[in-house]
Amino acid sequence: MNKRDFFRIIRKKLNRFGDDVADDAVEFYEEIINEKIRETGISEEQAIADLGDPNKLAVEMASDLVAANKLKNPSRGMFWLLGSLALSPVLLPLAITAFTLYIVIFSVWGSLTIAFGGAAIGSIIGGVYSLFVLGNIGTSLICLGGALIAAAILSALCIVTFKYGLEFINLITVKLVRKIKKKTDKGDIIK
Amino acid sequence: MDTQLKKGLLEICVLAELNRQDSYGYQIIKDLYKIVNISESTLYPILKRLETHSYLTTYTKEFDGRLRKYYRITENGKAKIQEFCREWSSITDIIDFIRGMK
């Protein structure tokens, strides 16, 4: 592998943390490669091979960054996590856990939204129907009252989701990433 | 060696290396490799962490027509080494206990 391919892989994996983060890492490794070639006279190919798998290096650096909570965007962190998990079969159980957790969170939130949204719309239709078609003001008021309650719960749900939901997803991501780090740490270090 | 313990020790080793003289990535690895297994992928996050905690600063210097990033220990970093050395006596007590000498 030559330098260009090596750094292309590192950049691709790190660019979601910002160009400066990727640049810094690339600079560090490039300097090491250059110094090593100059001092020991080995080929560029060999110097790069000595560094190990760029995918693994990038995952290690990225998991450090995620664990340090440097995540600007929780959903990016989530996709990064799922993507990096696919790299190694050792991480498959974790990938399944992460995937399940995300699915559960989204489906619970989704079904609650649909349930209360549906209840609100249904009650409004019922209220309007009983007022104008059946001419029953009492039933109509009960229905519209119900619609208000459902709408209130729905908006509370949305507020809570935006306020705490993303943080919660971030928390899960960071926890899982720490687990990945422990696993990669074990297989870490030196040739 | 236990990874967490090793990481903590390596941080102090990097600081100790910089306490002797300002140094750059490849040189740090070469010097530390004499006493402990350390790879580039281990060193990089350590340097980042030490920089975040302002135990070290960096500057770039030209050497032989190419740029090198040098790392320099700060007063904070020196204090960290002192702290580690002070803690060491209590660590040796613990090790004595583990060996059953106490």
- Would you list the domain boundaries of chain B? 3-99
Task: Determine contact, residues A144/A123, Cβ cutoff 8 Å.
Answer: yes
Q: What does the pLDDT average to over B87-99? A: 86
Burial of A189 (0-12, 13-18, 19+ CB in 10 A): middle
Residue of B nearest to A187 (CA): B3
Give the β-pairing of B23-24 and B56-63. unpaired
Among candidate residues A14, A153, A166, A176, the one with its CA nearest the CA of residue A75: A166
Q: Inform me whether the C-beta atom of residue B88 falls under 8 Å from chain A C-beta atoms.
A: no
**For residue A102, what are the contacts with CB-CB under 8 A and spacing of at least 6?**
A78, A82, A169, A172
**Calpha distance A147→A129 (Å, rounded):** 13
CATH number assigned to the domain with residue range B3-99, chosen from the 4 options 3.40.50.150, 3.40.50.410, 1.10.10.10, 3.20.20.100 = 1.10.10.10
Eight-class DSSP state of B42 = H
Q: Inform me whether the C-beta atom of residue A17 falls under 8 Å from chain B C-beta atoms.
A: no
**Calpha distance A104→A132 (Å, rounded):** 42
Chunked mean pLDDT (size 10), chain A, 191 residues: 89 80 89 90 90 84 67 60 64 76 85 88 85 80 87 87 74 73 53 24
Do residue B41 and residue A57 have CB atoms under 8 angstroms apart?
yes
Chain A, 32 to 51: residues with Cβ < 8 Å from chain B are 32, 34-36, 39, 51
**Calpha distance A185→B55 (Å, rounded):** 24
Residue of B nearest to A191 (CA): B39
For CA atoms B72, B77, B82, B85, the dihedral sign is negative
Task: Determine contact, residues B29/A175, Cβ cutoff 8 Å.
Answer: no
Residue B92: what pLDDT? 85
Question: Facing residues of B63 across strands?
Answer: B66
Residue B40: what pLDDT? 85
Lowest mean pLDDT among A92-101, B13-22, B81-90: A92-101
Neighbours of A185 (CB within 10 A): 16
Residue A82: what pLDDT? 67
Q: Inform me whether the C-beta atom of residue A23 falls under 8 Å from chain B C-beta atoms.
A: no
Residue B77: what pLDDT? 94
Question: Facing residues of B65 across strands?
Answer: none
Compute the mean pLDDT over every residue in chain B, rounded to the nearest whole number. Answer: 88
Task: Determine contact, residues A48/A23, Cβ cutoff 8 Å.
Answer: no
Residue A188: what pLDDT? 39
**Calpha distance A54→A51 (Å, rounded):** 8
Among B13, B38, B40, which would you mutate to test the A interface (most chain A Cβ atoms within 10 Å of its Cβ)?
B40
Eight-class DSSP state of A15 = G
Residue A191: what pLDDT? 24
Angle at B78 between CA B77 and CA B79, to 5 degrees: 90
Question: Facing residues of A108 across strands?
Answer: none
Angle at A181 between CA A46 and CA A56, to 5 degrees: 25
Q: What does the pLDDT average to over B5-15? A: 87
**Calpha distance A82→A95 (Å, rounded):** 6
Burial A5-16 (b: 16+ CB within 10 A, else e): ebbebbbebbeb
Residue A69: what pLDDT? 54
Q: What does the pLDDT average to over B27-45? A: 87
Q: What does the pLDDT average to over B42-61? A: 90
